[in-house]
Amino acid sequence: MRCILFFGIYDPRYARNRVLYEGFKRNGWEITECHVDPKVNRGILKYLKLFLLGLKAWRERYDLVLVCFPGHTVMPLARFLFGPRVVFDAFLSVYDSNVFDRKVYPANSLRAWRDKMLDTWSCKLARKVLLDTNQHIEYFVKTFGISREKFIRMWISADDTMFFPTNIPEAAVFTVHFYGTFIPLQGIQYIIEAANILRDEDIRFRIVGSGQERERIERQIEDFKLDTIEWIGKVPVERVPGYMAGAHVVLGIFGDTEKTKRVIPNKVYEAMAMGKAIITADTPAIRELEGASAALKLIPVANAKALADAILELKNDSGRRKILGLSARALFERECLPEQIIKNLIEELQRSSIRA
């Protein structure tokens, strides 16, 4: 049996990490976790504890060492312990997320420079780096000066032990579902504008989550005096499938950011896994999924009118919704099952002369 070591300060419950774990398990791999919870072990203590655990793991033999997300800050430690065979699941750019997407600090700040160096060297220390789309890979190549050959594209996928088609009946009122962390790439303001356009229709918008743009969205809803929006705060991920199952349409992302064009978010994969009708932005990233244009309702980025029109179209055509849902699930089964993306990864690593 082949063995893999999951290494880092990652959250095992996070969607991406659950998918990786499930995918390797279904491919017959034995999984060992060398993991420190950064919420329990804070500051430098978490790295010291991880180093001590890593020394014990170093004595064992593994076919693959995977640094899980978030792993940028532990890559030097992984490289020191396990050498150049480490594979790094970058998942995102810290620099891009903090500076351009979340706008935590400006691009000319010391903290931005620190993040850029973190992205650069965490990737350079790895034998291979995993990212979700070619668009995302090209950003890393151009921004951080890293060779294209360093990267492997691997879909994010979804935990299909949690997200799968159900027999839960849809709500009596036509329901449009969105959940997220309220970051700019999600473009929640366009969902609110669409709700305002459709305020006289018999449509309920359900928004689950909270985050960075919460106050802005609250003000927008108050300004429009909307009573068709049901806002549910943060909920455990285990409750999300139930909310999604009862909805008629599930929304993806719509933001007018560069990152929107480069990524396919968890929520789209999860809605695909559940066989739901999905509306999301038409981006270069989503087009990388062969068949996405037929399986998903794609609309222009940052366009509330187009979103409203798409929602109304699907409200008035239950047959179209059913076809989209079946097509989305079929696309997920064809391209995005956890075992399939890991099988593809293993084959790619073998072609790259990495033992796997």
Residue 138 has pLDDT above 80, yes or no: yes
Q: What is the mean pLDDT of residues 19-36?
A: 97
Where along the chain do its domains lie? Answer: 3-157+337-351, 174-336
> Could you write out the three-class secondary structure of the chain?
CCEEEEEECCCCCCHHHHHHHHHHHHCCCEEEEEECCCCCCCCHHHHHHHHHHHHHHHCCCCCEEEECCCCHHHHHHHHHHHHHHEEEECCCCHHHHHHHHCCCCCCCCHHHHHHHHHHHHHHHCCCEEEECCHHHHHHHHHHHCCCHHHEEECCCCCCCCCCCCCCCCCCCCEEEEEEECCCHHHCHHHHHHHHHHCCCCCEEEEEEECCCCHHHHHHHHHHHCCCCEEEECCCCHHHHHHHHHCCCEEECCCCCCHHHHHCCCHHHHHHHHCCCCEEEECCHHHHCCCCHHHHCEEECCCCHHHHHHHHHHHHCCHHHHHHHHHHHHHHHHHHHCHHHHHHHHHHHHHHCCCCC
What's the pTM? 0.94
Task: Tell me the pLDDT of the chain averaged across its residues.
Answer: 95
Superfamily for 3-157+337-351?
A: Glycogen Phosphorylase B; (3.40.50.2000)
Domain 3-157+337-351 matches domain 174-336 at the CATH topology level: yes
Place domain 174-336 in its CATH homologous superfamily. Answer: Glycogen Phosphorylase B; (3.40.50.2000)
For residue 355, name the pLDDT band (cuts at 50, 70, 90): low
Check residue 85 and give its pLDDT.
85
